[in-house]
Structure 1
């Protein structure tokens, strides 16, 4: 019997880490699949030994962005109506009218939101998006590619990009089964679904319930619970390097214990430099009391700003910045691509630090995969960069309601709190780790070390 040909659609770079730099490809080969990456990223996957089909000149219809944004806002409006919960308003980005093109797009979106904020209206918007995307050259090129390549299945690595719509519609036109992977743990309450496929791959039973709740047109038999490859590499011993090699490479002090400060992007945390400064002050106090602690600062991969420079210079005896190994190939955040080297860097940063401190990041799960604790920042600074921003907004988000109890992390409720919480993280973290592990299982399911295998078994079930 001929091997089934599987197209792995990469509409943008965010799927690279999960589906190109993990063991996903290797497990697929072991199952005797013929794998092609349908690649819309600038990254050359042939350098990793993969077969790829490049997508050239991908371009959405001029109106699709307006309809996509309208769809998001209408879904949020309907969620507020149904649940009587204003949290969904916090997922909106303000409309911009500073430049002509975005202003026109946003005016169209606002008109559509005003006239289509109902179940019936939402359905019309969804159908119009499909009609728009089927009308362009991009869709025609996708059809042509699929007719030549004749894949048995198209698997999309991310449900959010507009440029994923046309390839999936083309596959459905040719009766090729399609699926999408839900990219992140917070995506579904935020109304980020752009594509519609025959099947959906989710992280956990928790995410499955969310998918059914937010998208009632999706039926239970369309959903596969597989986990996410995002954490799988933590369980692969081949990615680890020795402490001495890691410390030597990054000029770290073998006599120190290191904690990691994991940065956020500006929108998520405009006051991040001040929080890093507060952590450095706490570590300095601990060291003055006879401890020997350092900080590894891992900035957000899409933050190339200089906003941390003063804090890093002031605390260069304590903070060692280790920049993520991402490559910038354009101006937009989604053209900053991860590399395989960064996956290994992140894993070894975790392996050789004692704990992580950040603002509500999923790094809590990366660290608990190594049985290490996380501390969440939970206070506002006095001189805020953005007066309308508050840490309280972050922890109101729906995805934090999945936390089994508040003891899954250490809470940094003030600058004065940091010193004691770091001490707890270093010396008495067992309870925190046990609760974080329960949260990890809720979010990512069981057996995070064998996710790629589970995804391929689900694909096999679909195509055979």
Structure 2
């Protein structure tokens, strides 16, 4: 009997692996499928497969020694790779400004230790210390018992970073269960810290991501890195998420005679200037410096609309799409991770991508989403180290986004005086960067959107 375990960490993993074709393909290919879920079990009640069941994972809270060893591992990884701008930024931001609490002292100590000891061998040692702290942990024991009872042939982790999944990974390793991880996002290798642990195999978006994985994790066997694309875009070629233009204009109450600009927000931690950029666009429409258009804003699924309250009241003609991601519980260590998308939200998103005429964002993955529908993209980043605004221009230097900048697939706006002209030009000549966009898509997403889930299943079977 063949059995697979699927580890869903959060709402985005749910979107990618439950709302795509993946779960449908998995239950066809395996006799039994077990979902080990970081979300409450109730979110899966619509899945009516007889050979599928759900294990709800407990909320894992680290003890101090576990946290410290993990901190050593992560800081050592960043210290080793300071030549990458994003990692260097995270490394510098993590240093305590003052040593006035026990936690700040331990972080300072981690930086001192890893200044001298940050080799792969050192990192492996820190991870061993971290994982050894799980041995008498009740949650680890519970997860181990799950795996002993379930006997999955392998586990696929749909996200490689959440530390709260470390006890489950350690339990699998101790039981000699093969593990496979999907690299969650295009920036996770070159801009983030260490993974939660090392896996037997990896699923990556593209050849460039495979190359990066081998660089950052040199002990990885190249034959166990599989280029499969990413299921987060597969919903764009699944029929049930399609809609026509009437749905688009009626759902968002838009004027059919006008072109539509969509501003897609990041979350507040990185895209702090979203309210400013939205207001600049709104002012341009009011003053008619931007030719008559609809203006639609889609906020981040990771937050509510509270930080846009003033703009909503000030500019009633802006149309808003607040993603329908339900908060399923609020007592989690990372509350944002418990927001779960609906099928309707994917229909709305795909409708926006298909029927809007221009996207504007601050260095977001949404640039790729819109390019997949052949739409022009403008990236605005007005803040720098000198003008008093939050320095969002730094994100242009992150390794993953530097590739976008150099591809010439997007218009980069660093000065407000250039913004309206760029918007009007993109609306008049939407195909001006079409060739560069197509090349960037091939570079970043190394496989067709269709059959992404089937490729993932095939890779899983080889492990």
TM-score where L is the length of structure 2:
0.90
Which residue of structure 1 aligns with residue 347 of structure 2?
A: 344
Alpha-carbon deviations, 1:393-450, whole Å to 9, x = none? 1111111133383420022232232222222222212231321221122111131222
Q: Which residue matches 2:436? A: 435
Distance of aligned partners of 1:327 and 1:212 in 2 relative to their CA distance in 1, 3 Å threshold: same
Question: SS in structure 2 opposite 1:154?
Answer: strand
Evaluate the alpha carbon distance shift between residue 35 and residue 238 of structure 1 in structure 2; reply closer, same or farther with a 3 A threshold. Answer: same
* 1:200 equivalent in structure 2: 202
The corresponding residue for 2:254 is: 252
- 1:316 aligned onto 2:316: yes
**CA distance in structure 1 between the aligned counterparts of 2:305 and 2:237, rounded to whole angstroms:** 33
Counterpart position of 1:26: 24
The Cα of 1:335 is off from its aligned counterpart by 2.5
Q: 1:58 to 1:315 in 2, by over 3 A?
A: closer
- Which residue is 1:110 aligned to? 108
Decide whether the 8 Å contact of 2:3 with 2:30 is kept in 1.
no
**For the structure 1 residues 433 and 313, does the alpha-carbon distance in structure 2 shift closer, same or farther, using more than 3 Å as the test?**
farther
Q: Distance in 2 between matches of 1:147 and 1:154?
A: 13
SS at match of 1:9: strand
Count of aligned pairs between the two proteins: 450
SS in 1 for 2:54: strand
Look up the match of 2:225. 223
Provide the secondary structure at the position in 1 that maps to 2:123. Answer: helix
Q: Is the 8 A contact 2:228 2:447 kept in 1?
A: no
Q: Which residue of 2 aligns with 1:326?
A: 325
Matching residue within 364, 367, 378 for 2:367:
364
User: What's the secondary structure of 1:327's corresponding residue?
Assistant: strand
In the TM superposition, what are the counterparts of 1:27-176 in structure 2 within 5 Å?
27-42=25-40, 44=42, 45-49=44-48, 51-62=52-63, 63-80=65-82, 83=83, 87-92=86-91, 93-94=93-94, 103-116=101-114, 117-119=117-119, 120-176=121-177
Distance 1:273 1:241, change over 3 A: same
- How big is each residue's C-alpha offset from its partner over 1:359-396, in whole Å with a ceiling of 9 and x where there is no partner? 00011111111111111003239997xx4731221111
Greater mean alpha carbon deviation, residues 196-205 or residues 69-78: 69-78
1:206–1:148 Cα change, 3 Å: same
Shift of 1:152: 1.1
Q: TM-score, normalised by structure 1?
A: 0.90
Question: SS of the residue aligned with 1:47?
Answer: coil
Contact map agreement 1:201 1:225 (CA 8 A) in 2: yes
Structure 2 gaps, min length 5: none
**After the TM superposition, which segments of 4 or more aligned residues of structure 1 sit over 6 Å from their partners?**
96-100, 381-384
**CA distance change for structure 1 residues 241 and 162 in 2, over 3 Å: closer, same or farther?**
same
Find the residue that maps to 1:308 and give its secondary structure: helix
Instruction: Give distance in 2, aligned partners of 1:418 and 1:72.
Output: 39
Any idea what SS the aligned residue of 2:196 has?
Answer: coil
SS in 2 for 1:277: helix
CA-CA distance at 1:338 after TM superposition: 2.7
Q: CA deviation at 1:195?
A: 2.2
For 2:58, what is the secondary structure of its paired residue? coil
Structure 1 residues 387-426: aligned runs within 5 Å: 387=388, 389-403=390-404, 405-426=406-427
Root mean square deviation, CA, Å:
2.5
> In the aligned structure 2, how far is the partner of 1:146 from the partner of 1:56?
12
Consecutive unaligned residues of structure 1, counting only runs of 5 or more, are none
